[in-house]
Each structure stands twice: as C-alpha cells, then as structure tokens.
Structure 1
Amino acid sequence: MGDIQKLTIDGKNYVLLTEEDYEDLVDGLQADAIMSRVAAGEETWPYEFVKELTESDSRIRSFRNYRGMTISELAAAAGISQPYLSEIETGKKTGSVDVLKRIASALNVDLDDLVVG
C-alpha cells in the first residue's frame, strides 16, 4: 500500500489514498466476505462446471449430472414423471414454476440457478 495521508477538513478526519490502494482495500473486504460465506458452508462450483452452465442447452441436465443423479432419480425426487423431466431437459416443455421449484429443491440449487436470465 502506498502513502496514506491523514487530513482534517472542517474538524472531520479523512484519509487520502490512491485509487489503486482504495480498490485493493475494497477487493480485500469482498474476498473476506466471500471466504466467510464459504467457511459457513456455502457451496462453490469448479470453473469447468460454471463454464458448462454458461454453454449448456439444459442447466437442469448439467446440475443433474454434476450431482451424479440419473434422470429417474431426479424425477422421483421432484415428484414428476421421468418422461416429463426428459421433455423439460430437452426443451420440449418448459415446466411450471412449481415443477421447476421442485426440481431446484431436489438438486439443492436456487430456482435462479436453473433459469437463464
């Protein structure tokens, strides 16, 4: 960190630092917050899987495979038929919000993780 200047203006104390030092400080605080969430048990995904999600034509299939589930296992966990889940995965059907919520719950992800915005 570079030189830090302390100033008093109108009786208030201020610290003057370079923009680079300020950005480093903010980055460090954000990194600490992220590491705290990870330490508290928040799941992280490997880069390769995140990249797959951005390129996938079916995020549900990608998460299902990542979780090591068969299509039958996920359908049973979500309380829907295997053919219906297959149609959702292939894009033939969209699935209701309720069904997508159940699929997300069975995959242990947020609904937002399944829906590309």
Structure 2
Amino acid sequence: MSGPQIIRTPGGEELVVLPRAEYEALLERADREAEDAEDVAIYDARKAELATGGGVLPPEVSAAILRGESRLKAIRNWRGETQLRLNFKTGIGQGYLSDLESGRRTGTPETIAKLAQALDVPVEWLS
C-alpha cells in the first residue's frame, strides 16, 4: 500500500487508512507544531513584559540568582547597597534583612514595599 486508502462504513462514514510510517510522520509533525506554538506563546508573553517594562530582571541580577543568590541579595548587590545602608534607608533591621536574604524569613507586603522603594525597583521584583 503506497498511500492512504479511504473506506466507507455501512453508515456512510469515511475512514482513512494510512501506512504506519505516514501516520507516525503526521504525529511527529503535530508534536513539533504544538511545541512551536508553545514557544511562540512564551516569546509573545516575554515581549509583552518587555514592552511594559515589568517583570524583566537585569542580566546581572539574573546571573546572580542562577549562581544561587536570593533575589533580594542579588538586587541589593546590583544596586551597590550593603545590608547596613539598607537598614538605615528602610528602618528594617540588618539581622532581619539577612534572614530575608537567606530565606529563613519572608517579608510582609509592607516590608517588601519599603525594600523595593529603597532599592528603586518594582515591588514585583521582590515578591
């Protein structure tokens, strides 16, 4: 059998019979197209984030996070701040800042807002 064969059922429904190789090729193509569609959706979402200026961390911050630093510590270092100076700017204790950076504690929304303002970054970067 070299190509598809069409069979009509007693009820009039048409069925297509394909060689297995053609069937598998169709499945593979469908998988590739689905994956491509997912990639396009991700790309479009990231492009929209860039257009609005939100959600995109600077490359230096992203690299520090990939090296294992917390987001807060990476942003603080990127801004050239020490925990002590951040303490003076926000009134948040240096020990508490250390706990936030290490993940031993999570900040309240008010604390996160203060830190975002002091570091001049969107709150979403620290949430």
TM-score range, shorter chain: 0.5 to 0.7
- Residue number among 58, 61, 66 corresponding to 1:45 in the alignment: 58
1:28 maps onto 2:36 in alignment? no
- Give the TM-score taking structure 1 as reference length: 0.54
**Alpha-carbon shift at residue 21 of structure 1 (Å):** 0.9
Change in Cα spacing, 1:50 to 1:90, as seen in structure 2 (3 Å) is: same
User: Percent identity, aligned pairs only?
Assistant: 23
Change in Cα spacing, 1:61 to 1:18, as seen in structure 2 (3 Å) is: closer
Task: Report the aligned-residue RMSD.
Answer: 3.4
SS in 2 for 1:62: helix
Distance 1:113 1:34 in 2: 18
Structure 1 counterpart of 2:41, which letter? L
1:65 maps onto 2:77 in alignment? yes
Higher radius of gyration, 1 or 2: 2
Structure 1 counterpart of 2:30, which letter? T
Q: Which runs of 5+ in 2 are unaligned?
A: 1-26
